Chains A and B, each alone.
Chain A
Amino acid sequence: MEEALLRIREVSKHFGGVYAVNEVNLDIREGGIWGLVGPNGSGKTTLFNTILGLYKPDHGAIYFNGKCISNLAPHDIYGEGVVNAFQLPRLFNRMNVLDNMLVAARGHQGDKCLHSLFWRKSWQKQEEGLIEEALDILRLVDLEKWAFSLAGELSGGQRKLLEVGRGLMAKPRLLLLDEPAAGINPVLGKSMFQKLKDFSCNGITFFIVEHRLEILFEFANWVYVMDRGRMVAQGEPHDVVDAPAFYEAYLGEG
């Protein structure tokens, strides 16, 4: 059995005595779509933020591709190949959609100070290529027509799509998606997941938080269930649905 791409071992994160994430263990192996479900406040977003490096785990460690990433800065974690799409989209509002996408690009030579002043030719070609890629992804999420509109002018659903698109643009090995289909009509949501499945065949592993269980169950290989900061159940979707812990988590909460 090959080593898991993402390994979370005994990770806890508390805020002033309240444990948002409590001794969580999980493994994500490379390939496919992995789900994370649980009622509101169960710690899913906090867990994501900890993986991402926005929080340091108070206890435990996170390994990605064999390397411990618990103490890395977020931009370094991005460098390792972990990218995130936030639940509430964090777009660059006064920049246009295409520019938002281009910021996510990996290894753009033009990002460097000296290169933008002196060796401009060296990255112009790269920029053209990246623009093509960005437009391709935008086409995928139906935002191509708005490439030159300001991100701040998009509707709520469009903002989510752009957030996801940006994540794809970053060419991650592991993409964390926090409720990507929220606020999007079900038909579009389903088609988006279909496209994500296609992407996963191209080598991106997805770890998705999603409330609309029916979508997740159609596409996910494995699902983790969290409740009040703890991992309470896991398994293939149809197994998890039957697990008592799952019911308790969702229905017990009321």
Chain B
Amino acid sequence: MVKKLLMVIAVLALLIPAVGCGPGPAETIKIGCVLSTTGLLGPMGEDMMDSARLAVEEVNAAGGVLGKQIELVEEDDATEAAKCLDRVKKLVEIDGVKILVGGMTSGATMASGPYVSGQEVLMVSPSATSPEISVQEWTSWVFRTTPSDAFQGRVLAQVVLDGGFTRLATMVQDNPYGVGLEGALVEALEEAGWQGEHILSIHFDQTKMDYRTELGQIKDSNPDVILAVTYCDDGIIVFKQALEMGLDEIAWLGCDGNYGPGMFEEPSCAEFMETAIIAGTRAAGPSGTVYDEFAAAYEAAFGEVPSVYCDTTYDAIKLIAQAIEQAGVYDGAAVKDALLQIGQDYEGASGTITFNEIGDRVSGTFEIWKVEKDEQGVYHNVQVELITV
């Protein structure tokens, strides 16, 4: 029995590398894409992958890059940082990829950074927001189409200052995104000499189904403004329960995570957002037309509206394609330089993108949004103001 089992294993062992050896057809330009299509962030990653596919399709339809079609080599890291590194290695060493979109989380990016810099592979992350990435020695090989939270923090801080609020409570996801944005807001307020107090900080688990304990704590602490850093799924629950608990009397601040029509699928959540949220922030373009085009194309292709970070993923692919064209050669270093060149005041779906010398997105035009109900009773996000930071 053991012998048979070992034979089976041996055959499998031979099969895989034998079949797998050698690079694929050289007629395509490969762009790798490592996102979390399964695991904790699976649903978000799926949508982002769809955006990437849409972008690739559009570029290919327009003639491709350097006369060839783009091949999107997709990998899933199951929302695990170590797996992301493994997938990146696989893409580079087995598929011969030199440019890729990834990692999805800051952790995945931090894990992959040393490797891509060592291998001179360009990586563009659509969603890693940790400021830690900027201070690493390998950071120039990792570009980010998502703006650093520091900017969003400043915009939010301005809202707090303008509103004359003095008692801030924060309810944020317990991950680099939530904690980071909270930290950025607090830091910006301190810099501006705010006289108020950060009375309560809650880091919550985004997978829970019930937040009444946390909301109760907020109610007890009696703030006059509350920052909510959530994604869509947890945000819906938070806002719905906040409405139930009568917290819509207090001013709330939203962010890019809870922006989007996905939030309005739950009527009480939409109602809450309309009444309670005085301002939410989001990176946006001056006219937003690129976003609208993208959103329309996305909806047409996939039947639903794009969720958070879909726009930055779309921009990442489009920028990479353009950079390859500009560089004229499929080489990590050359494309990196080209990307830096073209990534100046670039009009993307996620707004105006400008990279600094280490590849961080420093521009920003941000919008302040609110939720309003139109005559038909349908809720929309509405742009109130544009701020350039």
In-complex A–B contact (CB below 8 Å) = no
Interface residues of A (CB under 8 A from B): none
Interface residues of B (CB under 8 A from A): none
